[in-house]
Amino acid sequence: MKQRLNQIATLASGILFGFGLAWSTMIRPESVLAFLNFRDLGLLLVLGSAVGLNLFVFQLAPRLRQRALLGDTFQQRPFTANPQALAGGVLFGLGWGLCGVCPGPALAGLGTGNGDLLIALAGILAGAWLQGLWAGRAARN
């Protein structure tokens, strides 16, 4: 039962996220590129309102409750930046600046019927595969 609720909540979260990406026009690469060229700063409002809401949620919920509503622990974000990660950020930025797509909007935009995004999604999958080979190789050395 709890597992089923967990699945429903996960799917519903994704639906809200995808719906919002469509509403905010971020699924259109042209909208993202308009922001990156400073022609329409809307993306800052999208990020700002999404972060603003979650600042309360991420900061307050773990202080008010031991566990999430369905009983699991609240996950922390155990990330520290290092040169490897920053190099990854530069590559991601190059791709994002080239085509105005990031992983979430690629999925949501496909859902609205933009079939061209299948090319971007195939590229992202291939890129993730290559990164796995790269990171796996580096780990063995």
Q: Is 94 in the site for another protein (CB under 8 A)?
A: yes
Least Å from the CB of residue 138 to another protein: 10
Least Å from the CB of residue 31 to another protein: 8
Least Å from the CB of residue 64 to another protein: 10
Nearer to another protein, 15 or 141 (CB): 15
Residues 11-70 that bind another protein (CB under 8 A): 11-30, 33, 36-43, 45-55, 57-59, 61, 67-70
Q: Is 1 in the site for another protein (CB under 8 A)?
A: no
Alpha helices in 1-141 (DSSP H): 2-23, 29-36, 42-64, 83-99, 103-111, 117-140
Q: Is 83 in the site for another protein (CB under 8 A)?
A: no
Instruction: Write phi, then psi, for 129 (nearest 5 degrees).
Output: -65, -50
Least Å from the CB of residue 29 to another protein: 5
Q: Which of 1, 4, 63, 113 binds another protein (CB under 8 A)?
A: 113
* Nearest-angstrom CA–CA distance, 13 and 6: 11
Q: Is 115 in the site for another protein (CB under 8 A)?
A: no
